[in-house]
Amino acid sequence: MNKEGPTRPFAAADALRQLAPADWARFGAEQIAYIRPIVLDGAPAVAIHSADGTQIGAAPDTSLATAAILQHEMLPVLVH
């Protein structure tokens, strides 16, 4: 790592978490949705979140979550 970069692991991720919604919009975040596994009513499911972390939906599986995101003209990304 160069001396001018973050000095601790995940510093860049921490910085991204601090971005305001207007800052995310500059990156095209309105067109990005991420998915992550959850348990919904005791069953495995997939949550759909906007780039700012707001949950905007859920689906029973990854393929249906991805289809819903694409149907709304967004780019799906997987967070793991």
Mean per-residue pLDDT for 49-63?
Answer: 91
Regarding pTM above 0.75, the answer is no
Q: For the chain, how many structural domains are there in total?
A: 1
Please check whether residue 22 lies inside any domain of the structure.
Answer: no
pLDDT tens-digit map of 11-37: 777 877 787 877 766 666 678 899 999
**Has residue 73 been placed in a domain?**
yes
Inside any domain, residue 23: no
Is 59 part of any domain?
yes
Domain of 44?
Answer: 32-80
Would you say residue 67 lies in a domain? Answer: yes
The string of DSSP codes covering the chain is: --TTS-SSTTHHHHHHHT--HHHHHHTTGGGEEEEEEEEETTEEEEEEEETTS-EEEEESSHHHHHHHHHHTT-EEEE--
Q: What is the mean pLDDT of the chain?
A: 82
pLDDT at 19: 77
49 domain-assigned: yes
